Chains A and B, each alone.
Chain A
Amino acid sequence: GAVVSQHPSWVICKSGTSVKIECRSLDFQATTMFWYRQFPKQSLMLMATSNEGSKATYEQGVEKDKFLINHASLTLSTLTVTSAHPEDSSFYICSAPSTGIREDTQYFGPGTRLTVL
């Protein structure tokens, strides 16, 4: 199956600093990637769709100036949490679709645990 990696796997930062998370598709190209956020004991919530060569599309209620997304190449998307605060602490997961026979199957990265002190 398709492999998606994320880096770092965890990060602890002070309030007010910015944190960058990388998402890479290792064995396939992805013009679109997705960023999710997951709080403890909750399901995944889509934050934004990252598009190679164009602006990201954000879901309702997600601050685009706070969560900066850059789709630098066909295998790399980055999420930067700017001026992070404790309420931004969460598990961030990216996914990338690998074209299937009838519908793209999304493969997920291992996730990044962000803790803001």
Chain B
Amino acid sequence: EDQVTQSPEALRLQEGESSSLNCSYTVSGLRGLFWYRQDPGKGPEFLFTLYSAGEEKEKERLKATLTKKESFLHITAPKPEDSATYLCACTSYGKLTFGQGTILTVHP
């Protein structure tokens, strides 16, 4: 059975304090690993897709990396507007399996 585990469950940072979120996965036939951002009461917003170990993608203050067993979402000098739940998901054969998410709070 495919499993996706995210840690930590919640993360509180001061503005400017860089950190990383972790996503560990056990998926047979991994086709892609996705990161989404979800704000309260809204649907997930697509951030990145990673396909193979060693791949990295960046968008503003966010950088996603992928190994054979896990992915990291690095947040550099976060701002309060980066506060959200960050979801990791893996796809095999078309279906997404989500992790439980990491709730990020950035204090000014």
**Assembly CA distance A97 to B93 (angstroms):** 13
Interface bracket on A: 20 to 34
Tell me whether B46 and A107 are in contact (CB under 8 A). yes
Residues facing A in B34-52 (CB within 8 A) are 34, 36, 41-46, 49, 51
**Assembly CA distance A109 to B46 (angstroms):** 11
Across-interface contacts of A111 in B (CB, < 8 A): 41-43
At the interface with chain A, which of B13-21, B70-78, B95-103? B95-103
Tell me whether B95 and A46 are in contact (CB under 8 A). yes
**Interface class of chain A by DSSP:** strand
Q: Which of A34, A43, A45, A106 contacts B101 (CB 8 A)?
A: A43
Q: Which of A6, A100, A113 contacts B41 (CB 8 A)?
A: A113
Number of A-B contacts (CB under 8 A): 59
Across-interface contacts of A8 in B (CB, < 8 A): none
Closest to A94 in B: B43
B71 to chain A, nearest CB (A): 15
Across-interface contacts of B34 in A (CB, < 8 A): 105-106
Q: A43-B100, A43-B101 are in contact. Are A102 and B32 (CB under 8 A)?
A: yes
Tell me whether A104 and B41 are in contact (CB under 8 A). no
Tell me whether A93 and B46 are in contact (CB under 8 A). no
Tell me whether B44 and A103 are in contact (CB under 8 A). no
**Assembly CA distance A22 to B95 (angstroms):** 21
Q: Which 9 A-B pairs have the closest CB atoms?
A: A108-B43, A103-B32, A43-B98, A111-B43, A108-B44, A110-B43, A103-B31, A43-B100, A93-B43
8 cross-chain CB contacts under 8 A: A6-B43, A43-B87, A43-B98, A103-B51, A104-B91, A105-B34, A106-B34, A108-B46
